[in-house]
Every structure is written in C-alpha cells, then in structure tokens.
C-alpha cells in the first residue's frame, strides 16, 4: 500500500529588516531571512485537499512580521524560538515547528547614527526547533572565506594507480567555513556567536596544518573547549584550491607567489566534533546536506 510519510511545509526566505529607533540618535538594523517549516497532523490536505488544518504560509509570513513589531528582534536564536513555540502552541494540528534564520551584518558608516553598510562577511545562521515540550537550537555561520599563505603541508598520503598529486610542505590553504554547532542548553546567543567565530578564525590561523581534516578538527575542538554550552559542532570545508602556476614553459620561476584560484572541482571535507557525553541530538536539525 502507498502511504504518506514524513512531511513539512511553510514559508521560506521571508526577508525582514527590523529598525530599532528607540534611540533616535542611533538606530540599530537587523536584517534577516526567516524560513518556517511546520509538521503534524497534515494527512487530510495531502490525501483529500481538505485544508482545515493548514495554517497558510501567508499567515506564517504575517506572523514573522507581526512578532518583529511586537517583540523586536534581539537575537536570532530567541526570535526563532519565540516563533517556533507560537506555531506549535497556537495550531492544534502542528506538533513540530522549525524556524531557520539567516542574518546579514551591517556596519555603521559616518557619524549619522542612521547610515549603514552591509559588511559582506559571513552569514550568521540559526535553526530553532520546538516539539511542544522541548526545544533545540543549532547555530552557525557560512561563507567565512579564509586563507593561510604559510603553515600548510600535504604529504604522506595513500597512493594508488590514479594518484599523481605532488607532495608539498608549503601550500596555500583556503576554505569557506560553514559551521553549525548544537547548544546543549540556552546560552548568551550573541556573545556565544562572537566567541565561536573568533575561535574558528584563530584555530584556522594558528594550526600548522598537515591536512584540511586536521585543521577542521582543530577548529571544532577549539569551539567546544571555549563554549561549554555547545555539545557538538559540524564543519563543512570546501578546499578552495590555489594551484601554483608552472612557468617553466616560458622560462620563469614561480617562487610560490603566483596562484590560480580554481572554481571546480574542489575538495570537500566534512566532519563532526562532539563531547562524548553530549546529550542526544533529538529533533535538532542541521541546515544543508551535511
């Protein structure tokens, strides 16, 4: 027999800019993309088109804007939890809500108090899940692009018929950090984010690297050591290859100064670092395929 399995629905990529004017001389801007996914007793709409249990995705969007007005947006984790709890507690059919948030950072310009430039650095992320009883928060960042021009080697690897790569004890190591960490308990969200970001950067910079895997592990370990409230971290690190250009055909020497930054293909290194006594992940969700 053919049956309905797991399912969810919601409004995705609700673009919300919240201006805090409480200090008229110095505004604050928070710039988010919010996605809602709800699940529960939704068989009827799938099987017969009976929508009586379906809160429209349009209403979900309205709720995001309304809550931004009523409660403000202080920290994305808190805002996500507030929304997730609302949908489950107010909709009888909904037993689980997931709210995924991205935040884009703005920096002040000039001295006007109301002028900003988008920083363009990494995107901050968070996914809040609530099942009626328990809640989970997975926070992170993506597209933090970093590069070490020294302190990276790669040699001693396995060899097979198809292995042609030269060994090196001095290569460029570059990646776009995509990290997500699961909180075991509520935390000072903004402060924890800043700490995690700093730890990722310093671990990347300070690790003398024999493989991107080693750097990945060092980065994750550093975050767990520095943030007791984090139980587990997952990193997905594309190896953004920088190939040394061979100039011998035209009689020049490349003193490891000139590199071709390749697009595709790229290595992709993914790993989890966790505490051996980490509480179970339960219904926590991780964004992306990993």
Active site residues: 11, 57, 241
Angle at CA 75, nearest 5°, toward 180 and 21? 145
CB 177 within 8 A of CB 204: yes
Nearer of residues 81 and 172 to its own copies, judged by Cβ:
172
CB of 47 to its own copies, least distance (A): 6
Classify residue 256 as left (phi > 0), alpha (psi -120 to 50) or beta: left
Please tell me the distance from the alpha carbon of residue 35 to that of residue 98, in angstroms, as a whole number. 8
42-51: long-range pairs with CB below 8 Å, 24+: 42/7, 42/9, 42/93, 43/4, 46/4, 46/7, 47/4
- Omega of the bond prior to 36 within 30 degrees of 0, cis? no
By beta-carbon proximity to its own copies, the closer residue of 150 and 188 is 150
Cα-Cα end-to-end distance for the chain:
32
Give the whole-angstrom CA distance, residue 200 versus residue 137.
19
In the complex with its own copies, the residue whose CB is nearer, 133 or 249, is 249
CB of 136 to its own copies, least distance (A): 16
Q: Taking the complex as a whole, how short is the minimal distance between the CB of residue 226 and its own copies, in angstroms?
A: 11
Nearer to its own copies, 133 or 264 (CB): 264
Coil, strand, or helix at residue 61?
helix
* Residue 2 C-beta: closest distance to its own copies, Å: 5
Secondary structure, 3-state, 169-209:
CCCCEEEEEEEEEEECCCCCHHHHHHHHHHHHHHHHHHCCE
Give the shortest CB-56-to-its own copies separation in angstroms: 5
Least distance in angstroms from the C-beta of 242 to its own copies: 6
- Could you give phi then psi for residue 19, rounded to 5 degrees? -100, 125
Residue with Cβ nearer its own copies (145 or 191): 145
- Closest listed residue to residue 240, CA positions, set 269, 211, 216, 261: 261
When the beta carbons of 65 and 185 are compared against its own copies, the nearer one is: 65
Q: What's the token pair of residue 13?
A: 């990529």
């Amino acid at each position: 027999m053919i049956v309905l399995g797991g399912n969810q629905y919601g409004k995705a990529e609700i673009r919300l800019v919240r201006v805090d004017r409480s200090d008229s001389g110095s505004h604050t801007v928070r710039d988010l993309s919010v996605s809602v996914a709800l699940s529960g007793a939704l068989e009827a709409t799938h099987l017969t088109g009976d929508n009586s249990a379906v809160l429209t995705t349009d209403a979900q969007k309205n709720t995001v804007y309304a809550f931004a007005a009523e409660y403000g947006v202080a920290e994305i984790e808190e805002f996500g939890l507030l929304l997730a709890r609302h949908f489950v507690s107010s909709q009888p059919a909904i037993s689980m809500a997931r709210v995924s948030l991205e935040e884009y950072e703005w920096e002040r310009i000039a001295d006007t108090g109301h002028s900003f430039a988008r920083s363009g650095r990494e995107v901050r992320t968070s996914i809040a899940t609530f099942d009626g009883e328990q809640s989970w928060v997975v926070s992170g960042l993506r597209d933090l692009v970093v590069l070490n021009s020294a302190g990276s080697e790669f040699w001693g690897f396995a060899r097979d018929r198809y292995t042609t790569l030269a060994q090196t004890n001095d290569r460029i190591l570059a990646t776009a950090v995509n990290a997500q960490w699961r909180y075991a308990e509520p935390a000072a969200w903004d402060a924890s984010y800043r700490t995690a970001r700093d730890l990722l950067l310093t671990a990347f910079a300070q690790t003398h690297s024999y493989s991107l895997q080693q750097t990945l592990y060092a980065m994750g370990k550093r975050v767990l050591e520095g943030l007791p409230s984090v139980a587990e971290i997952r990193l997905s690190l594309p190896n953004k290859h920088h190939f040394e250009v061979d100039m011998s055909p035209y009689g020049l020497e490349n003193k490891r100064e000139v590199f071709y930054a390749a697009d595709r293909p790229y290595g992709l290194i993914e790993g989890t670092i966790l505490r051996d006594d980490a509480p179970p992940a339960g219904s926590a969700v991780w964004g992306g395929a990993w």
